[in-house]
Chain A
Amino acid sequence: MSILPNILFAIILFLGIGYFARNVKKLIRNIKLGQDIDRSDNSSARWKNMAMIALGQSKMVKRPIAGFLHILVYLGFVIINIEVLEIIIDGLFGTHRVFSFLGGFYDVLIGSFEVLAFLVLVAVIVFWIRRNVMKIQRFWKPEMEGFPKSDANYILYFEMVLMTLFLVMNAADYHLQFVPGGFSHYHQAGSFPISQFIAPVFNGMDNALVAMIEKGAWWLHIVGILIFLNYLYFSKHLHILLAFPNTYFANLNPLGQFNNLESVTNEVKLMMDPNADPFAAPANPDAVPAKFGASDVQDLNWVQLLNAYTCTECGRCTSSCPANQTGKKLSPRKIIMDTRDRLEEVGKNIDANGGKFVDDGKSLLNDYITTEELWACTTCNACVEECPVNISPLSIIMDMRRYLVMEQSAAPTELNNMMSNIENNGAPWPYNQMDRLNWVNE
């Protein structure tokens, strides 16, 4: 009978990890709906980016308060995974504090977990206050209403509860370790710099009850972690995993360098070639003509789609966007959130239709992102510079502008005038090319 909890634990663990793996597969499939783009070059620079930006959090600290608090939570998360490893072994094999044979080193481990858990708790409470009490502007933009707002708070509550459970579990353990004559399997191990202050709560309580509290906290802690793991897929918290590939595959070129569309180069060269035969049959009559620019998520490349899943909705991009700061509708964060929402919608459509996308009459353009937003962008790269995980909202804006102009001829009238001036006079203004040197004698 005593093996029953271990079997139960194994089942819960299997289900928790299994469901997560299923969603990861879906995630990868959705990202692969994007167009191909080669990001296999320059791997040393890419590893360096990942080490500095994702692992080293170098861009986070540009805003020092949020950056420092984030590093605490991040360190707590990374280090506490060692504790999770012990929990899993204990759970599967019915041991108790299996790593305690490490002696003094174990004391240091548990001691540092406790300090970090406490610091995480403090950081998370400050985060909650910043979002809900101080109402920092970037957390109160229109795109943050509804789920994005509660998502952020759920994550904070989750972390508060998980850290509290961890400390309560340790406190109960600590209390039982010092029961005169010993109690059950609780032996002296670990050091408890934080939970020793919680332990006095258990004074005078029945030892069996304290043991139940310890076990209860243990179970809730690990089940909570599994639930949290599975919540990731549905949440902005997915960044804790995707920040790594996202910084690895990020653009390495100068920010001002926008890609040259190859499909356009071929057509332009043909147009400019005086020897080209306009009536010649196309080389491959079955080839699907390339679509210029993007109107839906499948037209974007897979790095842009990975960007969408990686976004933490922190809003640093939006708060640095000149258009947003002057009250225009454009919010780079919303561009990324819309892309993810639409991609999820397309993914569900594929799931519902046996693996094939069936046209739903909707698209990223117009149904999610309006042309007003797209035309408000100054292409200044402030959003790209600001993003702590190297997301480029600008590249999506540009691809959608390309669709508007080249597929739909739907540029604002003034821009059409400007473009026909370039075509006719080689300048955006209606002046004669022969007057280009007039400045010399003025």
Chain B
Amino acid sequence: MSESLIVPTMAEMMAEGKQPEILFWVGSAGSFDDRAKKITRAFVKILNKANVNFAVLGTEESCTGDVAKRAGNEFLFQMQALMNIELLNSYEVKKIVTCDPHSFNCLKNEYPNLGGNYEVLHHTQFIKQLLSEGRISFNKETYKGSRITFHDPCYLGRANNEYDAPREILQTTNAAVVEMKRSKSSALCCGAGGAQMFKEPEKGDMDINVLRTQDALETNPNIIVTGCPYCNTMMTDGVKFSHKEEEIKVLDIAEIIANAQE
């Protein structure tokens, strides 16, 4: 992954007197988590290939506050939100794309009441647009013969009713896309939402990610696909728990496309 990426920042853009078409909100996981950083790079690879005029906030970006809000810390959430809104508004941001459904939900639904009004897209929605506009192409042979199953992130699916965009992208890959017994609005959580990512689970019989990975394994997939950095971590751990990491990959939709791009 040493391919060089072109990643302009909002500050640089502003210095040149330019305004990007979209702001790519990287998110804390996408900036710091080793696995999620690969998703970030994959998405930027797509943006670069499609010549999308974008920028990131870079070191000016801060946590959306989503995880603080789900933990119940409304103070911390609003402090983060109001700071971010001030920054976003000062750059006159209109359109935001993010790879994290939690940031997506928070920016899209919870920022407007605090004065932050933007058009917010999840990266699967944006990739779908790029595909339908013919701005990206990839080798359709790459996934021929593979079995792919998609795990719906709660904050993309149930929370925001987006079930189609990721599936439409996967349909274009020529892979067999198989649904788990629980999918779409009845999908099971990966176990990381609501700030669970940052604490040990409460006592129980098993961990949620292990149960969810069983759902995925029942479809006999080669690849488990998801659209959320937290889901990715949880499903990857679940696959390792079942000692299947040699046969089954866990990938983000951005990686599915980026890996097959010529």
Contact = CB atoms under 8 A, between A and B. Distances in A.
Interface string A286-326: 00000011000000000000000000000000001011011
Contacts, number: 215
Nearest to A409: B73
A402 B72 contact: yes
Interface in B197-232: 197-208, 210-212
B158 A380 contact: yes
Interface stretch (A83-91, A149-157, A263-271): A263-271
Given A257-B105, A418-B67, A428 B154 contact: no
A5 B9 CA distance: 88
Interface in B82-139: 82-83, 105, 109-110, 113-114
Contacts of A435: 31-32
Q: Is the interface of A mostly helix, strand, loop or mixed?
A: helix
Contacts of B83: 272
Interface stretch (A33-41, A350-358, A419-427): A419-427
Nearest to B109: A257
A264 B110 CA distance: 14
B155 interface: yes
Contacts of B69: 258
Nearest to A381: B158
A377 B196 CA distance: 8
A321 B159 CA distance: 15
Interface in B139-169: 154-155, 158-161
A436 B76 contact: no
Interface stretch (A7-15, A210-218, A248-256): A248-256
Interface residues of B, number: 73
B174 interface: no
Contacts of A376: 201-202, 204
Nearest to A431: B32
B204 A380 contact: no
A327 B159 contact: no
Contacts of A387: none
Interface string B1-27: 100110101000000000000000010
A133 interface: no
Contacts of B51: none
Given A322-B191, A380-B193, A442-B1, A327 B68 contact: no
Contacts of B30: 439
Contact of A265 (B68, B114, B186): B114
Contact of B32 (A264, A423, A427): A427
B252 to A, nearest CB: 14
A254 B32 contact: no
B244 interface: no
Nearest to B205: A327
Contacts of B185: 385
Contacts of A254: 105, 109, 159-161
A260 B160 contact: no
A29 interface: no
Interface in A148-204: none
Contacts of A377: 194
Contacts of A404: 72
Interface stretch (B54-62, B235-243, B253-261): B54-62
A260 B68 contact: no
Contact of A261 (B1, B31, B74, B199): B74
Residue of B192, B195, B196 contacting most chain A CB atoms (<10 Å):
B195
B198 A330 contact: no
Interface of B: 1, 4-5, 7, 9, 26, 28, 30-33, 37, 40-41, 44, 56, 58-59, 61-63, 65, 67-76, 78-80, 82-83, 105, 109-110, 113-114, 154-155, 158-161, 185-186, 188-189, 191-208, 210-212
10 contacts: A265-B78, A325-B188, A326-B208, A326-B210, A376-B201, A379-B154, A382-B189, A418-B71, A419-B68, A429-B33
Given A320-B186, A426-B62, A434-B59, 6 more contacts: A258-B69, A268-B79, A323-B204, A379-B154, A382-B158, A422-B80
Interface of A: 253-258, 260-261, 264-265, 267-269, 271-272, 292-293, 320, 322-323, 325-330, 372, 375-382, 384-386, 398, 401-406, 411-412, 414-415, 417-419, 422-423, 426-429, 431, 433-442
